[in-house]
Structure 1
Amino acid sequence: MRWIWNARLEVGESLDHLNRVKTDTKLFHLKLKDGKIEKIIEASAMSPLSEGYDANGQLLLPAFKEMHNHLDKTYFSEPWKACVPAKDLEQRLELEADELVALSKTVEKRASTMIERHLHNGVNHIRTHVNIDPFIKLENFYGVKKALENYSDYITYEIVAFPQHGLLKHEEVPDLLREALSNGATILGGLDPAGIDKNIEESLQVTMAIAKEFQVDVDMHLHDLGQLGIYTMETWLDMIELQDFKQKTSFSHAFGIASLKGNTLNKFTQRLKQHNVQILTTAPIGLKSTLIPIQELQENDIFVGLGCDGFYDSWSPLVSGDIVDKAKDYAEYTGRTSEKALRETLGLITNNITPLDDKATQVWPKEGNEASFTLVNAASSAELIAQATDQNNRVLIHKGNLFQS
């Protein structure tokens, strides 16, 4: 595709008669070449040609990023079923294990259906965790990998080899993780060394050894609360320093951080920053005690990304599968109701790319940027976050490729 016509871009802000901030927009044409923006022209300067895509005034935003997902777990495309309630994480894992073998036979179909849901919602990047366990070994991995490869014209992805049922509880798991990393998994996962493996130091050391062996990044699910969660993270950071680990680390959920305040939080965030650690969260509004201090982390230059996590699976039937809903949940729970605060919230689902900076100066898009966008029916990014509606009319363009199912 060579042209996008009549796309609405955010260009600044002004005040209305009540001194309320309003995001200003204008119509532009964008010329694309080799997956990048070659030229941006005000719509008043030329009339559209026949070639290209007419946005008809839709707002053009950075394409969305889904930073914590489980494509292999969804029931999507299967007949409706609610999940079985569980009293704790261990029981939830037992219930999941009971159906892993049966579900593995349809993993490619289920993952593909969920990928299409994300594409329709404007997502062009997915980080997915995939179960690597003794029950199904690598079946889910190969099915998810094939599904993602089928949509490579419209999406980029990372596959986390994830020991959902423990790293140490089953002796074959470390080698199964190695096999997955040898066959296309891009990140090594981890899960609650205390709560699941019952041995923080050994679990983290095995994780470190495998990550160094394959020179891959690490993404750990850490649900443990309070000091236990902080101790786990601190222990990993100590290992990074002692063993000169060069790859990146992500702490997913990281609920322990919710217990930190003031100077203690500042000291911890400085350690995260020192080692370029990312925090990936689902902004769980139903778990008040575990909502981590996202704004404070961002103010200390810690990358924070959002993900839907599970979507209609054995864990929960309630998640919509729309990453914009997650951003709205966060804004609603934390009282981010002003135009500027809502506008800034968009960065949680775009890897920090926003059309306007904190001074309301336009910083995106620019000529030379990657031509990856989501077109939405909204007056501004603030309205999109506040309303989280109109999924059916979003349009994804990935590196100049228009997604049409």
Structure 2
Amino acid sequence: MGDSLLLTDVRPWGADPVDVLVENGLVAAVSSTGSPDRAGTHVEGAGRVILPALSDVHLHLDSTRLGLPFRAQTGEPGRWGRIMNDREHWRSAERSVAERAVFTLAVAVANGATRIRSHAQVDADSGLTKLEGVLAARERYAEVCDVEIVAFPQVGILLEPGVVDLMDAALRAGADLVGGIDPCEIDRDPVRHLDAVFGLAERHQVGIDIHLHEAGELGLFTLELIHERIEALDMRGLVTVSHARALASGLPAVPAAIERLAANEVALTHAAGAKGWELPLLDLAAAGVRVGVGMDGQRDYWSPYGNGDMLDRAWQLAFVNGFGSDQHVEHALAVATWGGASVIDRSLAPLDALDLRPGFAVGDPAEFFLVDSVSPTAAVMDRPAERTVIHRGAVVSVDTALDGFEIPGRWGREGN
């Protein structure tokens, strides 16, 4: 990547035009427009809005069918029915795991997402095949985005023999975090499930990202068990809970649960879920809890939603939460950009207030995208297709015209 980049006449978060100097992948200076010419790359912003790069921090690259013929939903209702539907059909997809992951990652980057956390399923049926496909996609695009991979036991850890050993092998093969899923509802043994997850994390010295779809009192109980292990093992700042549906319950215990999440530095990721799944974003921001959002599955064996554009997901996040003011819509955008980045990189400050517009202080990572829009809120509403993407201080691009795939929806990157 280039050592020096000068972005002229850009508007951070839609503010007044400035010039942004980037050196060695970090913001070196932000000054009034008209900066003197410098050696290195020069990008004319032409008054465009510049924002922190989009961050997709809850993604399943191994199951995506983005860009393939639309597939009707055939799974039985409920989580287990969809898990089994995935198991029944993933081998008959028109393209391999690696090919599908490569295409989806290309679309994400073209749309401005340079920070990704993807789950890769590890179970007795698929072994490490899905992980290997996601690892291949990460290697393919290592120069244009950063990808973390979670070894994800979607079918549970205890229901089938050998899964703990497979998870151990996945972490040795290149997975960055250890996952878990619904310790009560799936494995029906939360103590053994969480002991296995935290044991693997301790052995490999990695972080944790646990899917927690469990609702209401049950989900809050599981959160308590997670906190007990964080405190006992001194793993503050190393755990993420995905979905955390119990926080959408409105139960009297939720405020205390949020306070404990903040105290133990537990991050949250979610998929901008509809009624019954909405995280209390404003309360979480006030408490300083790190929150990011992601595409989750994309047109796969779980869901028909998803188009590879995290700006579209920012719109969905604002919509399902009933956000209408510019301040609140911009907060949804902040969650989809800097919020997710702070989940992956704990050295970055969390979004602890609604009016924070981070990403442009000296020393911040030079991860940006530029859009031609009058304001950040307008960018969320319009989702302009043309974007300039910057990763590690250099302008990057990817070819999304891969054989056998088409970009769905009207927000695709035509011509790539």
> Shorter-chain TM-score: which interval?
0.7 to 0.9
Cα distance change, pair 168–51 in 1 and its aligned pair in 2 (3 A): closer
Alpha-carbon distance in structure 1 between the residues aligned to 2:166 and 2:227: 25
**Aligned residue for 1:304?**
291
**Aligned residue for 1:374?**
369
Alpha-carbon distance in structure 2 between the residues aligned to 1:357 and 1:378: 26
Q: Note if contact 1:324-1:388 (Cα within 8 Å) is conserved in structure 2.
A: no
Mapping of residues 281-320 of structure 1, within 5 Å: 281-285=270-274, 288-320=275-307
**Aligned residue for 2:262?**
273
Alpha-carbon distance in structure 2 between the residues aligned to 1:70 and 1:362: 28
**Aligned residue for 2:321?**
334
Cα distance change, pair 116–144 in 1 and its aligned pair in 2 (3 A): same
CA offsets per residue over residues 296-342 of structure 1, 9 Å max, x none? 12211111111110111111122222222222222223332222222
Residue 394 of structure 2 aligns with an amino acid whose one-letter code is: N
Alpha-carbon distance in structure 2 between the residues aligned to 1:249 and 1:357: 18
Alpha-carbon distance in structure 1 between the residues aligned to 2:356 and 2:92: 53
Q: CA deviation at 1:155?
A: 0.8
- Residue aligned with 1:157, SS: strand
Q: Note if contact 1:100-1:136 (Cα within 8 Å) is conserved in structure 2.
A: no
CA offsets per residue over residues 230-261 of structure 1, 9 Å max, x none? 11111121222334445611110111111244
Alpha-carbon distance in structure 1 between the residues aligned to 2:94 and 2:354: 50
Q: Note if contact 1:216-1:247 (Cα within 8 Å) is conserved in structure 2.
A: no
Cα distance change, pair 268–5 in 1 and its aligned pair in 2 (3 A): closer
Q: Note if contact 2:54-2:113 (Cα within 8 Å) is conserved in structure 1.
A: yes
**Aligned residue for 2:8?**
6
Q: Note if contact 1:104-1:139 (Cα within 8 Å) is conserved in structure 2.
A: no
Alpha-carbon distance in structure 2 between the residues aligned to 1:301 and 1:85: 38
Cα distance change, pair 53–300 in 1 and its aligned pair in 2 (3 A): same
Q: CA deviation at 1:176?
A: 0.3
Structure 1 spans left out of the alignment, 5+ residues = 12-22
Q: CA deviation at 1:267?
A: 1.5
Alpha-carbon distance in structure 1 between the residues aligned to 2:219 and 2:352: 34
Residue 3 of structure 1 aligns with an amino acid whose one-letter code is: L
**Aligned residue for 1:252?**
242
Alpha-carbon distance in structure 1 between the residues aligned to 2:258 and 2:27: 36
- Residue aligned with 2:338, SS: coil
Length, aligned pairs only = 387
Cα distance change, pair 209–104 in 1 and its aligned pair in 2 (3 A): farther
Residue 386 (structure 2) pairs with residue 399 (structure 1): no
Residue 401 of structure 1 aligns with an amino acid whose one-letter code is: A
The TM-score normalised by the length of structure 1 is: 0.88
- Root-mean-square deviation (Å): 2.6
Q: CA deviation at 1:124?
A: 0.7
Residue 308 (structure 2) pairs with residue 321 (structure 1): yes
Alpha-carbon distance in structure 2 between the residues aligned to 1:244 and 1:299: 24
Residue 317 of structure 1 aligns with an amino acid whose one-letter code is: P
Q: CA deviation at 1:6?
A: 3.2
Q: Note if contact 2:286-2:353 (Cα within 8 Å) is conserved in structure 1.
A: no
Q: CA deviation at 1:191?
A: 0.6
Q: CA deviation at 1:58?
A: 1.8
Alpha-carbon distance in structure 2 between the residues aligned to 1:115 and 1:224: 29
Q: Note if contact 2:177-2:209 (Cα within 8 Å) is conserved in structure 1.
A: yes
2:78 to 81, 88, 106: 88
Q: CA deviation at 1:198?
A: 1.5
Residue 47 (structure 2) pairs with residue 57 (structure 1): yes
- Residue aligned with 1:371, SS: coil
Q: CA deviation at 1:357?
A: 9.7
Alpha-carbon distance in structure 1 between the residues aligned to 2:290 and 2:5: 33
Q: CA deviation at 1:47?
A: 7.1
Q: CA deviation at 1:92?
A: 0.9
1:365 to 360, 367, 379: 360
Give 1 or 2 for the bigger CA radius of gyration.
Answer: 1
Alpha-carbon distance in structure 2 between the residues aligned to 1:314 and 1:357: 36
Q: CA deviation at 1:128?
A: 0.2
Q: Note if contact 1:77-1:109 (Cα within 8 Å) is conserved in structure 2.
A: no
Q: CA deviation at 1:364?
A: 4.4
Alpha-carbon distance in structure 2 between the residues aligned to 1:332 and 1:100: 32
Q: Note if contact 1:75-1:110 (Cα within 8 Å) is conserved in structure 2.
A: yes
Q: CA deviation at 1:143?
A: 1.5
Residue 9 of structure 1 aligns with an amino acid whose one-letter code is: R
Residue 216 (structure 2) pairs with residue 226 (structure 1): yes
Q: Note if contact 1:97-1:135 (Cα within 8 Å) is conserved in structure 2.
A: yes
Q: CA deviation at 1:48?
A: 9.1
Residue 21 (structure 2) pairs with residue 31 (structure 1): yes
Q: Note if contact 2:6-2:40 (Cα within 8 Å) is conserved in structure 1.
A: no
Structure 2 spans left out of the alignment, 5+ residues = 342-348, 399-416
Fraction of identical pairs, as percent: 28
- Residue aligned with 1:152, SS: coil
Cα distance change, pair 216–334 in 1 and its aligned pair in 2 (3 A): same
**Aligned residue for 1:111?**
101
Q: Note if contact 1:7-1:59 (Cα within 8 Å) is conserved in structure 2.
A: no
Residue 145 of structure 1 aligns with an amino acid whose one-letter code is: L
Cα distance change, pair 3–272 in 1 and its aligned pair in 2 (3 A): closer
**Aligned residue for 1:18?**
none
Alpha-carbon distance in structure 1 between the residues aligned to 2:131 and 2:355: 43
Q: CA deviation at 1:38?
A: 3.1
Cα distance change, pair 246–329 in 1 and its aligned pair in 2 (3 A): closer
- Residue aligned with 2:16, SS: strand
**Aligned residue for 1:159?**
149
Cα distance change, pair 314–7 in 1 and its aligned pair in 2 (3 A): farther
Q: Note if contact 1:30-1:39 (Cα within 8 Å) is conserved in structure 2.
A: yes
Residue 68 (structure 2) pairs with residue 68 (structure 1): no
- Residue aligned with 2:58, SS: strand
The TM-score normalised by the length of structure 2 is: 0.86
